[in-house]
Structure 1
Amino acid sequence: MTNHSENCVVCLHGQDDLRLETRAIEAPGPGEVRVAVLAGGICGSDLHYWLDGGIGTIRVREPIILGHEAAGRIDALGKGVTGLKVGQLVAMNPSQPCGACAFCQVGLTIHCTAMRFNGSAMYLPHQQGMFRDLVVIGAGQCFVLPEGTNPGAAACAEPLAVCLHAANRGEAVGGNLSGKTVLVTGAGPIGALCVAIARQRGAAKIIVTDIQDGTLAIARLMGADHAINTAKDPDGLAPWTSGKGGVDLVFECSAAAPAIGDAVACLRPRGTLVQVGVAGPTLMPLNVMVGKEILFVGSQRFDVEFAEAVALIGSGAIDPTPMITATYPADKALAAFEAARDRAISVKVQLSFASV
């Protein structure tokens, strides 16, 4: 057991009110484990909670510990837990479907109507997150990684799972990525990981677009063949827009109307547009999409892909570490959030905790 006298947490009390606080140390109950957190990634949703006090209609109504991308070592086991051992490195799946609603009953747990998700303010009480020294969590939410795995890489399992789900959705309607020409619009963490998956699955050519040179450089490290700053080079996609388009599948990771327009212009007839990025109401070139018979696929979160993400990271088949642009100690959380909001310098910013 790790020797802790208090449990430090990164807690949001409302818009622009992020605090480092302490909580009592909890013991794991039956079927639970306690994990000493090593690394936690700051997600766009964490930034929205901090900057805006919520995401759309979901508002922070009580103090909430943020964080849903995290990995650490098992510190204690609750009664009845088998298959896990103290000291093992685990990535923690923040999704907790109810298992009983109509969607869960037909295997669509991703659309659970009572989904609990660590670090989410959707319901009251809020589902507390993982930005803390010690977190008590269901044993079934813990996925073991091989000894020697970088904890920061392990903490990328959640965003990688999001991208694997997007890839699986795209392949289900558009066919195998092997040998395909793939465009990724938006080179943030999700875009960078979509690039890595396209490379790992055998795409012949991968193009990525963004309006920041720094993020594009990371995307190249993750496997992109062509990186185009569309703000500086508005004609950079011309080789793939000529004729009726030369791209087989697009991972649209920005939710920006100009990027969606580029995606549709580049797609060949009956190409596949996988919409991963989300925003408010967004203009889309529906006439061109219909004329080209574009296959439009929505993709949100993940399901069984979390285990696949852990396996890929644990085996080294996908290495997310090039996209980790900075790591801050938890007591510098505000500086970490400030860095994470600056897309000119950051892709994935992580926090480290006292258990490191």
Structure 2
Amino acid sequence: MTTTTAVVAHAADDLRVEPIAVRAPGPADAVVAIAYGGICGSDLHYWRHGAVGESVLRAPMVLGHEVAGTVTSAAADGTGPAAGTPVTVHPATREPTGVRFPENSPNLSPGVRYLGSAARFPHTEGAFAREVVLPATMLRALPAGLDLRAAALAEPASVAWHAVSQAGDLRGKRVLVVGSGPIGALAVAVAHRAGAAGIVAVDVHDKPLEIAAAVGATRVLKATDAEAIAAVDADVVIESSGHHRGLASAIAGATRGGTVVLVGMLPRGDQPVPVASAITRELRLVGSLRFNDEIDEVITALADGSLKIDPVVTHVFPVEEALTAFATAADASVSGKVLLAF
């Protein structure tokens, strides 16, 4: 039996770097040697709490869904990239259900499975491992010149791209990004590429604001400066803090008739939010969940240099130092996106 080294969440505060068995590939599966993996907020929740919302760990699970690597064995059925191809990964697969959703929004299907998710049992294993077996349909070949480190950010950049696209054409628009962690910073980069006239980034910490300025923010504000945030008068607001106070700031900072895109995942249940202000100023509040095929556009934009995201990565740790990496990623005052090197 072949084994590989993986990052496995066993329970709250029980994260281990340990050997796991590599499953035998099916005819439509490829084997990928993972080079880099980005630590996501969901990975941090599984580590700290043993759960993400109602997705609770019921068994040990390999984490990770933001990865890039090289195909070492192509799918036997001839689909997907050939051996030796550098790839990034679209971490979603879909199963049919009887629930309705828009045909052009497969991300809204309740049948979606995501790598490294405990939403169902058995859990969907993630890709934080030196060697993983994945459906070839998940793999996206990388253009020449796009390195694996940058490609590890294709997934979160796609989340940001999808969120920004929810607001329509940004050319000449004033944009406000509330919450400048990795997704917020990537939203700044995407908005900058989309031709926004000015981008104001907000956060509670200095480090995320420094990163946001490096990828295209024309002005930064501390989250405590409520008066300045309200004065932004933004045509489009990207709320990526995932906190009800951030959503309140987003509503306050939007212009009359403006659009607020909610990409930060707020906790389940009722939230104390000033909705009356959104009503009286006719704001459009638009949800944003993951992404669809935007990853293909993101890969092209990363390869041609039009989407500049290098400053978002602040730390790279070898997989053996995963616990240190997770602790660093959990401290937003010192880090942006933290990568594991496999």
TM-score tier by shorter-chain length is over 0.9
Report the counterpart of residue 258 of structure 2 in structure 1: 271
Deviation at 1:275, TM superposition (A): 0.6
Counterpart residue type for residue 323 of structure 1: V
Report the counterpart of residue 131 of structure 1 in structure 2: 128
Instruction: Please say which of residues 279-288 and 327-336 is displaced more in the overlay.
Output: 279-288
Aligned equivalent of 1:317, options 306, 309, 313: 306
In the TM superposition, 1:212-291 aligns within 5 A as 212-231=205-224, 233-237=225-229, 239-240=231-232, 246-280=233-267, 281-291=270-280
Aligned equivalent of 1:210, options 203, 206, 212: 203
SS of the aligned residue for 1:96 comes to: strand
Deviation at 1:310, TM superposition (A): 1.8
Q: How many pairs does the alignment contain?
A: 340
SS of the aligned residue for 1:132 comes to: coil
Deviation at 1:106, TM superposition (A): 3.2
SS of the aligned residue for 1:350 comes to: strand
Structure 1 275/238 Cα, relative in aligned 2: closer, same or farther at 3 Å? closer
Report the counterpart of residue 149 of structure 1 in structure 2: 146
Structure 1 302/238 Cα, relative in aligned 2: closer, same or farther at 3 Å? closer
Report the counterpart of residue 327 of structure 2 in structure 1: 338
In the TM superposition, 1:152-167 aligns within 5 A as 152-167=149-164
Structure 1, unaligned runs of 5 or more: 241-245
2: CA distance, partners of 1:104 / 1:261: 29
SS of the aligned residue for 1:23 comes to: strand
Structure 1 108/237 Cα, relative in aligned 2: closer, same or farther at 3 Å? closer
The TM-score normalised by the length of structure 2 is: 0.95
2:12/2:49 contact within 8 Å kept: yes
SS of the aligned residue for 1:236 comes to: helix
- The answer to whether residue 74 in structure 2 is matched with residue 77 in structure 1 is yes
In the TM superposition, 1:14-163 aligns within 5 A as 14-99=11-96, 101-103=98-100, 106-163=103-160
Deviation at 1:107, TM superposition (A): 3.9
- The answer to whether residue 292 in structure 2 is matched with residue 297 in structure 1 is no
Report the counterpart of residue 191 of structure 2 in structure 1: 198
Q: CA RMSD in A?
A: 1.7
Instruction: Please say which of residues 7-16 and 250-259 is displaced more in the overlay.
Output: 250-259
Deviation at 1:27, TM superposition (A): 4.2
The TM-score normalised by the length of structure 1 is: 0.91
Instruction: Please say which of residues 329-338 and 275-284 is displaced more in the overlay.
Output: 275-284
SS of the aligned residue for 1:37 comes to: strand
Identity %: 37
SS of the aligned residue for 2:166 comes to: helix
2:97/2:110 contact within 8 Å kept: no
Aligned equivalent of 2:316, options 327, 330, 341: 327
Structure 2, unaligned runs of 5 or more: none
1:101/1:114 contact within 8 Å kept: no
Structure 1 85/128 Cα, relative in aligned 2: closer, same or farther at 3 Å? same
Counterpart residue type for residue 18 of structure 2: E
